[in-house]
Chain A
Amino acid sequence: MKNRPAGSGLALVGVGSMLTSMIAAGFLLGYGLDSWLDSRPAFMVLFGGLGLVGGFLKVYKLLSRD
């Protein structure tokens, strides 16, 4: 705990919901872009997928940092 950079230990508190909310945020962003460009469901799916990948990456990064 002492050797870690400040904040990394307690940031783990939010790991569980980080993955879900990344997917949700991707969908929301895609939904917004879709209703702007009138292209549903293209960006919703694309950004949702990106959110999933990003969420996995983020969680992996948070958990493997020591």
Chain B
Amino acid sequence: MSAKESSSGSSTVEYIQHHLTNLCAGDCDPVTHKAASFWAWHLDTLFFSFVLGALIVAVSWRLSRRLTAGVPGGFQNFAESLVEFVSTQVKDTFPGYNPLIAPMALTIFLWVWLMNFMDLIPVDLLPVIASFFGIQYLKVVPTTDLSTTFALSLTVFALIIYYNIKVKGVLGYLKMFLFHPFGKYLVPVNIVMTLIEELAKPLSLALRLFGNLFAGELVFLLIALIGGTMAVGLAALFWLPLQVLLDLGWLIFHLLIITLQAFIFMVLTIVYLGMAHTTEH
């Protein structure tokens, strides 16, 4: 662990900052390794989110070939209850019928959950393994990167606009902007207000997921620092058990958070798309 080699305050900051820096390629700042413009790629985010997406595809493809109508095995049971759970949510929340919504909700739930789950892997494990291969920076949790959460929420936003226009027509959609909160006498205010309201949807989706996961990651880093910086000699006998205890506690609590955040993202996607499908606002 890089934290164990040092005990001064500045290297504590360095340790945290190092862990919060993405592996950047393209147009990056050479000193801070942060993205300098739009054309910068966070390779670690792309890699892990792609791998986890591929994992979902591979596992469900494998499962689909082994599906039985008779007595299902353990994993099929689990998958069935998951699909059942999501489809119940969609039926309760979504007005009307759209064959795209339930599969998409399931995909969002699984993918976001898996990306969040990367948070529960020991914070130093993957970066240390990567450093053996000469990779200096590695941020393993894709959802602690704003690029991921905004990519997800802007995709949902595009779908919201698409279904709004498809269901209400272009004119019907524009009419929604004119008369919505304050009636017909305050049309300019209504336009701004509805614009703000629509813009707040992807913003809140992305920032909520990012904020929760970023904070969770930060707490894991701080807990890792307890044993790392303070355990010298006999003091380790006290600090290391404390670290283990705190880590376990936060891990169990965080397991709840990552599931809840994935669930909230899924539910709000369904709700927003449901709003797009209904004419009354």
- List A residues at the B interface (Cβ < 8 Å): 5-7, 9-11, 13-14, 17-18, 20-22, 24-26, 28-29, 47, 50-51, 54-55, 57-58
Contacts and interface: CB of A to CB of B under 8 A. Distances in A.
A50 B189 CA distance: 8
Interface string B240-272: 000000000000000000000000100110110
Q: Is the interface of B mostly helix, strand, loop or mixed?
A: helix
A14 B197 CA distance: 13
B195 A29 contact: yes
A20 B181 contact: no
B126 interface: no
25 contacts: A5-B95, A6-B94, A7-B93, A7-B274, A9-B92, A9-B93, A10-B267, A11-B268, A13-B264, A14-B204, A14-B268, A17-B207, A17-B208, A21-B203, A24-B203, A25-B199, A25-B203, A28-B203, A29-B199, A47-B192, A47-B196, A50-B193, A50-B196, A51-B200, A54-B181
A6 to B, nearest CB: 5
B69 to A, nearest CB: 32
Interface of B: 89, 92-95, 181, 189, 192-193, 195-197, 199-201, 203-204, 207-208, 264, 267-268, 270-271, 274-275
Contacts of A50: 189, 192-193, 196
Given A6-B93, A10-B89, A22-B197, 11 more contacts: A7-B94, A7-B274, A9-B92, A9-B93, A10-B267, A14-B204, A25-B197, A29-B196, A47-B192, A55-B200, A58-B197
A40 B89 CA distance: 44
A24 B197 CA distance: 10
Contacts of B274: 6-7
Contacts of A6: 92-95, 274
Contact of B200 (A10, A11, A18, A57): A18
B44 to A, nearest CB: 27
A10 B203 contact: no
B196 A26 contact: yes
B95 A54 contact: no
B196 A10 contact: no
B270 to A, nearest CB: 8
Contacts of B208: 14, 17
Contacts of B271: 7, 10-11, 14
A27 to B, nearest CB: 9
B204 A57 contact: no
A5 to B, nearest CB: 8
B181 A57 contact: yes
